[in-house]
Chain A
Amino acid sequence: MDIEDPSFWRAGAISTTLVMLVVLAFLSIDSMRVISVGGANVPQYDVINHQIGYTYNWSRRADVPVIGGPEPLFGKTVTAAEATALMRTGKLVIQSRACMDCHTIFGNGAYYGPDLTKSWLDPAWQQIWMPMTGKATREDAMVEFLMHPDKYPTWTRAMPNLQLTQDEARATVAYLKWLSSVDTNGFPANFGQSGKQP
């Protein structure tokens, strides 16, 4: 073995790369099983028919989503097919309006606006936007805000009007509700409970 011989390191480069690629392939197969819709960490889209919470789990030492009883979005229980269609439109809204070039989802994107991972659960909807928009429910306030964000600024960095139709806004709200049900290993920590947890 001559470590000054390039062929020794060439063999090392090839074998290391191949081993790592094989390990990554196995991990990816397992990860797809977990993160596919209906997998262990990602609920079915019709979870939007239920109440969704986010509480600290002592055994996992992390915040985890908790799926509760019925809480239909916009007061209407949707079928699995309707939920899937809503999610498709919601995701296309997020892409077509380049939402993630201002916001983050699961912490990925841009950092000009707040993270949207658990935005469905943000107390600001009840505390600020429901009174501001005059709407009786969180989802109606969200739709009104998304359609006319420039009318309801809360601080200097306001959200621009991206010309969402009502259907697009409702689909986006549905998508944000579903997003909040994804188990993200505790990210973001302490959401809405500033400093209460160890």
Chain B
Amino acid sequence: MYRSQKLSLRYYTAAVALFGVMIVFGLLSALYYLYPSLLFNVFNFNMSKILHIDTLVIWLLMGFLGAVYWYLPKELGREVEGMWLAELMFWVFCAAVVVVAAVFVFVQYGAANEFSMWFINQGRKYVEAPRWAAIGIVVVMLVFAYNVIATCIKARKMTGIMWVLVLDLIPLLAVYLDAFPAVTNMSVDLYWWWWLVHMWVESTWEVLIGCVMALVLMDVMGTSRRIVETWLYIEVMLVLGAGILGLGHHYFWIGTPQYWLSIGGFFSALEPLPLLGMVVHAIYDAGTHRMKTNNQPAFWWITAEAFGNFIGAGIWGFMMTLPQINLFSHGTQWTVSHGHFAFYGAYVCGVIAVLYVAKQQVSGADVLGGRAWKWGFGLLNFGMVGMVMGLLLAGMAQAFYGRAMGGSTLMAFTTASENPWFVSGMYARMLFGVVFAAGYVVLVYDLLTSPRRVPALQAQPEPA
């Protein structure tokens, strides 16, 4: 095993631990809707929500870093350059996460001044971490970029996947620089904030997970490089072709010119296309291999990623993104429904797939199967779909009763939030959240358990 793969295992361990923290604060955030006086004035909803969404971003990022550190030496045929720096950065990253979490739990917020922005809480959704920690993330990502680029140079080898990955690092780093300013004008602030959030989640992360999935497909299914690289280019073309101006669907209501209504609506409608392409790709690969693989969990999580990405990010996003609908659905639990489904389908499933790839190699098992992973797979998927449906129910009640009929005032918000459809949706979200948490426990159990020894399948050679 390469040294960078050992680092990868550390990143995976940290990612899975933070996945658990994310679920704990997700359940707590859901509880506030049912018991509003819970921890009132002690630990309020906003802090729980911050820890839920920030750990989401961090654990996925750690999962991506782990996946790249895992595959980089295999792809380039040599150890990763600058490993001591990468290992140091892992501990810096972990220490920063612990300190920021402690500040969020025990200090929570400060006065309206620059000190609070630098050391306590920036209060911008997804990038609440104080500036010093945001600088830390930039340093970690710079070292990561150095590791990737320097290894390519030393190896004197550039594959198509590595080109896409290296070029993707530029916007990945550049847009994160927007994690620092505190612009007074909210319209301008949100304009650039969406560059960060949208360009990460709906563009650069999609390309990054596309690179990781390409490597996993070659590894797990034995798919030819020519096919995965062709699909990767098609995906990049469609993701960035639709996604860059798809940014416009966040510019409907923040003070921006009216033309964004048309541009955002049109390109958002195109955004499901690349995700549909991934579904076609997955079905094609599964059919080619007659659903046979030596790593069943990874195979099924890759399949879940393709379908989840298309349905959660593509269909659920399209459902609420045209401006005529978004005028009423915007800023309701409908958005939360889409957000959960999209993050889960696009990224969570993909990261779990690479966890199983690592498990197979670490355990030395020729075949990875058994029953526990199926329970984890079933509970996590069932739990997520249940949460998404509950949130959709609640969000539609808000859109119709709170926004369209009520006119979005405090009383309209209150009335919609007391509507039986909203309340039952919140209970459903809580219930399925517990199912999801049970799935997480089974997943961790399965990842930590040694697999049974089963004879390997015969490799199925594929025409290049």
Contact = CB atoms under 8 A, between A and B. Distances in A.
Interface of A: 4-6, 9-10, 12-13, 16-17, 20-21, 23-24, 27-28, 30-32, 34-37, 40-42, 84, 87-89, 91-102, 104-115, 117-119, 122-124, 128, 150, 154-158, 160-162, 165, 168, 171, 179, 182-195
A40, A105, A107 — most chain B CB neighbours (10 Å): A107
Contacts of A98: 46-47, 50, 109, 121, 123, 128
Contacts of A183: 255
B94 interface: no
B49 A110 contact: yes
A17 B233 contact: no
Contacts of B46: 98-99, 101-102, 110, 112
A115 B45 contact: no
Given A9-B233, A95-B122, A189-B403, A17 B244 contact: yes
A124 B185 contact: no
Interface stretch (B5-13, B67-75, B283-291, B404-412): B404-412
A158 B36 contact: yes
Contacts of A119: 410
Contacts of B410: 114, 119, 122, 124, 128, 154
Nearest to A168: B112
Interface string B256-273: 111111010000000000
Contacts of B257: 30-31, 34, 40-41
Interface string B160-188: 10000000000000000000001111111
A111 B333 contact: yes
Contact of A188 (B47, B190, B408): B408
Interface range on chain B (Cβ under 8 Å from partner): 35 or more
Contact of A108 (B125, B188, B256): B125
A9 B230 contact: yes
Nearest to B195: A28
B359 interface: no
Contacts of A123: 409, 411
A194 B405 contact: yes
Nearest to A195: B405
